[in-house]
Amino acid sequence: MLSRGADSTAGVWGHCDALLEVNLFKSWSELHDAFKGFPGCDDGSFAETYSDSVVKLLANEWDQLPKLKELAKRDPSFRRFVLSHIDATTDFDELVRVVSAAGERCPPGERTLCGEIHVAAGRAMIQVGRTW
């Protein structure tokens, strides 16, 4: 778990440094905790860490989609955050897996979220200049 530490008043970006210790967030709960605990840390390398985490979670942990849906329902700003981080800075092959999962393996009752994920991943692939 990340901690803001005693130096959290050391400027706008000072408290964001704890995010540099994280290579990737390994669960939707962990990502949500960082999103809530580190507001304002969604730029530059911090944003890339978020984007990599979102796409890797979707590509490799698709069975955890119900947890994402639960968190997104309770916190609509988290839903927007997740969708905004499905972007062209991430691994293209993982984006392909996300598009495939959203289109072919969407759990019942989660069509809206799957559709939003599918559109965001497809848009990111187009921005890269490649399609599946």
Which pLDDT score is estimated for 102?
Answer: 97
Pair 127, 111: CB distance under 8 Å: no
Confidence of residue 11 (pLDDT cuts 50, 70, 90): very low
pLDDT-based confidence at residue 5 (cuts at 50, 70, 90): very low
pLDDT classification of 89: cutoffs 50, 70, 90: very high
* Amino acid identity for residue 3 in this structure: S
The pLDDT of residue 22 is: 66
Query: 15-38 pLDDT, tens per residue?
Result: 677 766 666 789 999 999 999 988
d(CA 66, CA 87): 21
